[in-house]
Amino acid sequence: MIETCGYNIEKLYDDNVVPKVNRYFHLTASHRMLPSFFIAGVQKGGTTSLCQYAGQHPQIIPPQRKDIYFFNNEIHHQKGINWYRAHFPHIAYKKIYEVMYGVKAVTFDGTPNYFDTPMAAQRLKKEFPDAKIILLLRNPVERAYSNYRMAVKFGFENLSFEEALMIEEERLLSQAKFAPALQAHNYVYQRLSYKKRGVYIDFIKPWKELFGKNLLILATENLLLFPQQNMNLVTDFLQLDRFNNYHFELFNKSENSNEMPVPVKKMLSNYYQPFNQQLFNYLKTDYAWN
């Protein structure tokens, strides 16, 4: 086992953590649907729950899996659009589905890592200029700790939360020390960037500028408290019929119920306060995270 900066390189760079679609889907890729909307962020912001709710809507056919990692992952992006299409339903299934249910069906891509990856918004806009984008923004303090607990669960993280935050910048810089094969995609940033990814003001401007009215931003806290009202916002945004028979459940909830250490929570709250205020001013919306 190779370890550096408190994490396991072999596990961190294991792309097999995410299940792959089988060969049949790739062979039939050119006959598959493409998404009309994207749930693009943020990681640990409730996107799994939102994807599950969206998949219950009678006009939406879910993709083969959540987290396709196409526009944010250089390794996958270089495989081309047919590799991407393999992750979506077959056009023949879409036609049968539409006849059976008397609807016009769409599908979507739910990959929250798109939000904070440089060039992901530009790549997505180039391939899907009319796409609709949904972002879920969660209190960055809680998001960071949830991200950390997920990293511990998957075996990426060996340090305490406080220790990991202290050396986060060093970890991100350490990417340059690895072999070129490991630099094709920055898994250090994708899986161990707890603090940096919560500075939403650093990432949101390209999405607003490129997609404008085709961008819907929701607060995670509101989705959890008022799921039906928020799903009405989603369906109205997507120009789909409203649906009232969702099974609302919190998906992908962390199994670790340990509370964040109070000093660390205070430190993070102070750190994010000015960035949150910049975000609120930019969006003209206050999520009361401060």
CA dist list (Å): 66 to 53, 113, 123: 13, 11, 19
CB-based contacts of 206, cutoff 8 Å, min separation 6 = 121, 122
Q: Band of the pLDDT at 179, cuts 50, 70, 90?
A: very low
Distance CA(227)–CA(224), nearest Å, equals 6
| Residue % of the chain over a pLDDT of 90 | 76
Q: What is the mean pLDDT of residues 210-224?
A: 97
Q: Band of the pLDDT at 258, cuts 50, 70, 90?
A: confident
Write down the pLDDT at residue 4.
Answer: 54
Q: Which fold has domain 3-283?
A: Rossmann fold (3.40.50)
Give the dihedral sign, CA 112/37/123/13.
Answer: positive
Lookup: tokens for 163: 């220790």
Q: What is the mean pLDDT of residues 204-220?
A: 98
Q: Band of the pLDDT at 256, cuts 50, 70, 90?
A: low
The pLDDT mean for the chain works out to: 91
Cα–Cα–Cα angle for 239, 241, 244, rounded to 5 degrees: 135
Q: What is the mean pLDDT of residues 7-26?
A: 75
φ, ψ at 286 (rounded to 5°):
-110, 115
Per-domain residue ranges for the chain? 3-283
pLDDT digits (tens, 9 = 90+) for 82-115: 999 999 999 999 999 999 999 999 999 999 999 9
Q: Which helix (H) or strand (E) holds 132?
A: strand 132-137
Write down the pLDDT at residue 189.
Answer: 85
Tell me how long the chain is.
Answer: 290
